[in-house]
Structure 1
Amino acid sequence: MTVRRLRRQGGEPWYDDAAGRLVRPYTISNGRTRPTAHFDLLTMVMATGRRPVSCQGPDYAQVLRLCGGPVSVAEIAAHIRLPAAVTKVLLADLVDCGAITARAPAAVSAGSASRTDRALLEAVLNGLRKRL
């Protein structure tokens, strides 16, 4: 998918300082709202080193640059300033073409032996109270 950068007569990109880029998010994902793979906001993704043939364009390149090390879906969405739903579609495309791998966050079972330490939680609460 290639996203053309709209340009004014002088060759300047169509940006509005207050609104940001003028290309709507649904055009980046070709109108798709559902990714082909499941992603949680905490899912960790990382580049495999493979250069995708089918997933090209500035948005895919930007996502791949961010995936040099393990990074969460939420962090990527924040960096590229796109809604999480659009980011998940881009990431699913990159997973489908083998350019990135994704790992879901580990689930914590209800009867887990690693209980929350009350003293730690109280120390965090006290620290927050001092800062506020």
Structure 2
Amino acid sequence: MTGHEWLDEEAGPIVRAFWLTGGRTESGNRTDLDLMTLVVRTTEPVYGSLLLSPEHEAILQLAHQPLTVAELASALDLAVGVVRVLLGDLLTDRRITVRAPSAVSRIPTTRIIEEVIHGLQAL
């Protein structure tokens, strides 16, 4: 460690998660943002009230194409909970839109699985 508690020579500057979210564990927006929720920035100019942090800006740069919450958290190297709070801010300010992932197809019935197994065994 160097002379500062918040600087680690190997890891670089360390910023605690509560600092990035202003101590919040939830955003004011009540939209459910699960790991597979798709996020994309809005294309219209926005004149919101949110003062953007570097993390907000990074999300907007990444979200020029739809990405999941999990992909954003990974790309930003931030905890999912932190990313959800930041996304809630951007959503409230209408800088992003979100949508649930497309529905997973139905699970095949037992009969179909058995037919596949019999077909494979016949090969």
- TM-score after normalising by structure 2: 0.71
Shift of 1:79: 0.8
- Percent identity among equivalent residues? 37
2:69 counterpart (47, 68, 73): 73
SS at match of 1:102: strand
**What are structure 2's unaligned runs of at least 5 residues?**
117-123
What one-letter code is carried by the residue in structure 1 that aligns with 2:41?
A
CA contact (8 A) 1:55 1:97 kept: no
Equivalent in the alignment of 2:108: 115
Shift of 1:15: 4.5
Shift of 1:107: 3.8
| 49-58 or 67-76, larger mean C-alpha shift | 49-58
Equivalent in the alignment of 1:47: 41
Structure label with greater radius of gyration:
2
**1:87 lines up with 2:83 in the alignment:** yes
Q: Deviations over 1:36-90 (max 9, x none)?
A: 2210100000000334441412111000000001000001001111100000000
Equivalent in the alignment of 1:99: 95
CA shift in 2, pair 1:19/1:89, >3 Å:
same
Shift of 1:108: 4.0
Q: Deviations over 1:17-46 (max 9, x none)?
A: 433431111111011112322101000000
SS at match of 1:69: coil
Aligned length: 104
**1:34 lines up with 2:26 in the alignment:** yes
1 CA distance for matches of 2:53 and 2:63? 16
Shift of 1:98: 0.3
1 CA distance for matches of 2:63 and 2:53? 16
Equivalent in the alignment of 2:56: 60
Equivalent in the alignment of 1:21: 13
SS at match of 1:18: coil
- TM-score after normalising by structure 1: 0.67
What one-letter code is carried by the residue in structure 2 that aligns with 1:102?
V
What one-letter code is carried by the residue in structure 1 that aligns with 2:14?
L
